[in-house]
């Protein structure tokens, strides 16, 4: 493998999914209301057991970068993990997963969903975002993962609310309300709309204020450049990462550019990636956000002959 580019994938392992090994078992609200935390606990335990299997598969197949699903713990907003009847076993399997990752140099991360909006002007939404970020960090703590952006918890700002500067200031203020182990892992990502946040916006309005790293998304940069070239934006983001921790990026290509594509939205992710990723001279880790997950990573390595 070229040591300047290390690829990974997000959440679902397509190969293991065929054998019903996955980490996003969920239930409808009606079911949760009927069966409660007891059933949620059962699903959570199944999910963390399969997390161990996915990490082991990654080790066996030479994939060192993996984003965990944000749906491992179903309806987690309604309870604390230690309240689950199966918590001792859940904790034990999280510890196993974490040790596997640490012992084998697997970089784990999380990407809470679009409703994790720390910069919202709505206090109720902010409180929910804080809860999500805190609970995500607590899970990583239970796994024994480093309290650094090596194990990033990555989010977007989430909106401009007709005031980019004020919204970024609110993000920085609310950052201080999340627990220290969440602060230590938090990263921010550039957006895929011209009206949203570019790498240069995030550098000036977020990194310079609270010091968190910027995750450069190649695909998003096409739509929101902030006046920078891809190389300039990637290098600016690189400056935000602490010494000794490889810069982490995201990469995907547009589904609309693929022949016969059903989804014509330029922002939609393709099944595989076809072009060679340009690191512009940097050493980076990269989460491939193609729809075919680990198969896209394997196909890329085969095509570009970087996996020995």
For residue 125, the domain's CATH number is 3.20.20.150
In angstroms, the Cα distances linking 8 to 37, 79, 119, 197 are: 33, 31, 29, 25
219 CB neighbour count, 10 Å cutoff:
21
pLDDT tens figures, 19-33? 999 999 999 999 999
Three-state DSSP at 65 gives strand
Confidence of residue 252 (pLDDT cuts 50, 70, 90): very high
Number of domains composing the chain: 1
- pLDDT at residue 2 greater than cutoff 90: no
pLDDT tens figures, 56-93? 999 999 999 999 999 999 999 999 999 999 999 999 99
In angstroms, the Cα distances linking 55 to 58, 60, 101 are: 5, 9, 7
Confidence of residue 162 (pLDDT cuts 50, 70, 90): very high
User: Which pTM value belongs to this model?
Assistant: 0.94
Among 96-105, 127-136, 183-192, 254-263, the range scoring the smallest mean pLDDT is 254-263
Tokens coding 95: 């510890």
| Domain assignment of residue 68, given as a range | 5-304
What is the rounded end-to-end Cα distance, in angstroms, of the chain?
Answer: 6
What value does the mean pLDDT take over residues 142-154?
Answer: 98
CB 160 within 8 A of CB 167: yes
Confidence of residue 304 (pLDDT cuts 50, 70, 90): confident
């Amino acid at each position: 493998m070229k040591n300047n580019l290390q690829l990974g994938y997000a959440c679902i392992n397509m190969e293991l999914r065929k054998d019903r090994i996955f980490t996003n078992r969920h239930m409808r609200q009606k079911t949760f209301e009927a069966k409660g935390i007891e059933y949620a606990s059962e699903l959570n335990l199944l999910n963390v057991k399969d997390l161990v299997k996915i990490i082991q598969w990654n080790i066996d197949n030479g994939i060192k970068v993996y984003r965990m699903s944000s749906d491992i713990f179903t309806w987690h907003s309604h309870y604390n993990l230690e309240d689950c009847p199966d918590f001792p076993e859940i904790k034990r399997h999280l510890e196993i997963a974490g040790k596997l990752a640490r012992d084998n140099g697997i970089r784990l991360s999380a990407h809470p969903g679009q409703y994790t909006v720390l910069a919202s002007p709505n206090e109720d939404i902010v409180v929910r975002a804080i809860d999500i970020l805190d609970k995500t960090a607590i899970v990583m703590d239970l796994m024994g993962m480093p309290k650094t952006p090596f194990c990033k918890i990555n989010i977007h700002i989430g909106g401009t609310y007709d005031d980019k500067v004020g919204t970024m200031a609110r993000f920085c203020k609310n950052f201080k309300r999340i627990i220290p182990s969440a602060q230590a892992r938090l990263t921010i990502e550039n957006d895929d709309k011209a009206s949203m946040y570019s790498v240069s916006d995030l550098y000036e309005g977020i990194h310079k204020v609270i010091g968190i790293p910027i995750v450069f998304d190649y695909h998003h940069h096409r739509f929101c450049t902030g006046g920078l070239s891809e190389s300039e934006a990637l290098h600016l983001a690189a400056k935000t990462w602490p010494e000794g921790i490889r810069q982490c990026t995201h990469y995907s290509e547009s589904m609309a550019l693929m022949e016969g594509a059903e989804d014509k939205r330029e922002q939609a992710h393709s099944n595989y990636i076809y072009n060679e990723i340009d690191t512009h001279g940097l050493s980076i880790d990269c989460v491939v956000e193609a729809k075919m997950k680990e198969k896209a990573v394997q196909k890329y390595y085969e095509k570009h002959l970087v996996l020995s």
